[in-house]
């Protein structure tokens, strides 16, 4: 599918963008914990073991029933679920420290636009900076989220100089001449010709942003 970007938000300052799910909030882990409780855990795996074994909750073979799919569909658009997500420890502290090195200009998330209110509440409750939130338009399917986000980054390249994001698949959709820096959170290595930096934790994101943007603002 070729994702069309119809309207772009205006970003006035130059700086860095942030992903939300699994970068700031412990989204995947929270979903898995809920699904284990509701739909069983036949392999008797911990949340972390499931995260390692399966890339996405929709890939877990025993969570494929109609009931599970209906539950997922309801919860993906639930503002309550977004509001109650656990925080990735200290992500808020490092984000605020990073804002002293380089301006933070937007959150760019593949969450659907319908959960923007729950997202705003969660960010505010956890002391994250108040920035524009760019959400996936409801007309773009969840499966095309990485492609959509890459298009947004490409289109905003003049102002958005990079992003902190956990999703390596994003790199597959960015053009080869993309100049922004992808700080790949929660990764030990990265295989790409783009300017992508693996960051095993938030301390590393902070150090890498510091060396990339020293003297920027
Ligand atoms: Mg993410």
Contacts for 58-63 with beta carbons within 8 Å, 24 or more apart? Answer: 60/35, 63/35, 63/39
Residue position matching structure tokens 């960010």: 123
Q: Angle between the 66-76 and 27-39 helix axes, to the nearest 10 degrees?
A: 140
Average pLDDT over residues 163-180: 96
Residue 167 is predicted with a pLDDT of: 93
Residues 119 and 191 in one domain: yes
Q: What sign results for the dihedral spanned by CA atoms 89, 93, 95, 98?
A: negative
Burial 122-136 (b: 16+ CB within 10 A, else e): bbeebebbebebbbb
State in Å: Cα 144 to ligand 1 middle.
Answer: 14
* 47 occurs within a structural domain: yes
State in Å: Cα 108 to ligand 1 middle.
Answer: 9
Residues in the chain: 217
Write out the residue range of the structural domain in which residue 129 sits.
15-26+86-213
State in Å: Cα 216 to ligand 1 middle.
Answer: 26
Residues 198 and 100 in one domain: yes
Residues 114 and 200 in one domain: yes
β-bridge partners, 185: 199
Residues 104 and 145 in one domain: yes
Candidates 47, 69, 66; CA nearest to 58 is 69
State in Å: Cα 130 to ligand 1 middle.
Answer: 19
Around 168, how many Cα atoms within 13 Å sit in the side-chain half-sphere? Answer: 12
Residues 110 and 57 in one domain: no
Q: Is the pTM of this model over 0.85?
A: yes
Q: What sign results for the dihedral spanned by CA atoms 159, 174, 151, 121?
A: negative
- pLDDT, tens digit (0-9, with 9 covering 90-100), for 113-150: 999 999 999 999 999 999 999 999 988 988 899 999 99
Residue 104 is predicted with a pLDDT of: 97
State in Å: Cα 83 to ligand 1 middle.
Answer: 16
Res. 55: pLDDT tops 70: yes
Residues 63 and 164 in one domain: no
Model confidence band, residue 217 (pLDDT cutoffs 50, 70, 90): low
Tokens of 12: 């006035």
**CB proximity list for 171: less than 8 A, separation 6 or greater:** 182, 190, 192, 194, 196
State in Å: Cα 215 to ligand 1 middle.
Answer: 28
Tokens of 159: 């102002």
What CATH number should be reported for the domain holding residue 105? Answer: 3.40.50.1000
Least confident span in 48-57, 64-73, 93-102, 144-153:
48-57
Residues 50 and 97 in one domain: no
To the nearest 10°, report the CA torsion of 195, 197, 112, 3. 20
Question: Which helix (H) or strand (E) segment is 160 a member of?
Answer: strand 160-165
Residues 93 and 126 in one domain: yes
Res. 1: pLDDT tops 60: no
Model confidence band, residue 215 (pLDDT cutoffs 50, 70, 90): confident
Query: How many domains are there within the chain?
Result: 2
State in Å: Cα 165 to ligand 1 middle.
Answer: 6
Residues 92 and 69 in one domain: no
* 8 occurs within a structural domain: no
State in Å: Cα 40 to ligand 1 middle.
Answer: 25
Residues 117 and 197 in one domain: yes
Question: DSSP H helical segments within 12-130, as ranges?
Answer: 27-39, 47-53, 66-76, 79-83, 91-98, 116-125
State in Å: Cα 184 to ligand 1 middle.
Answer: 10
Residue 73 is predicted with a pLDDT of: 87
Residues 31 and 112 in one domain: no
* 62 occurs within a structural domain: yes
State in Å: Cα 93 to ligand 1 middle.
Answer: 18
State in Å: Cα 217 to ligand 1 middle.
Answer: 26
């Amino acid at each position: 599918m070729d994702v069309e970007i119809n309207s772009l938000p205006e970003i006035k300052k130059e700086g860095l963008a942030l992903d939300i799910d699994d970068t700031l909030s412990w989204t995947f882990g929270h979903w898995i914990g809920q699904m284990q409780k509701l739909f069983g855990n036949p392999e008797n795996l911990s949340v972390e073991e499931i995260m390692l074994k399966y890339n996405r909750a929709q890939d877990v073979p025993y969570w494929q029933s109609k009931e599970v799919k209906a539950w997922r569909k309801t919860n993906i658009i639930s503002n309550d679920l977004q509001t109650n997500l656990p925080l990735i420890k200290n992500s808020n502290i490092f984000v605020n420290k990073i804002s002293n090195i380089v301006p933070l200009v937007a959150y760019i998330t593949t969450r659907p636009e319908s959960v923007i209110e729950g997202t705003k509440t969660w960010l505010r409750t956890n002391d994250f900076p108040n920035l524009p939130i760019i959400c996936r338009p409801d007309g773009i399917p969840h499966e095309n989220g990485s492609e959509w986000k890459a298009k947004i980054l490409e289109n905003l390249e003049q102002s958005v100089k990079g992003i902190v994001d956990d999703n390596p698949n994003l790199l597959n959709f960015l053009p080869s001449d993309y100049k922004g820096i992808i700080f790949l959170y929660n990764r030990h290595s990265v295989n790409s010709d783009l300017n992508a930096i693996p960051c095993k934790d938030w301390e590393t994101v902070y150090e890498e942003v510091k060396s990339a943007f020293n003297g920027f603002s």
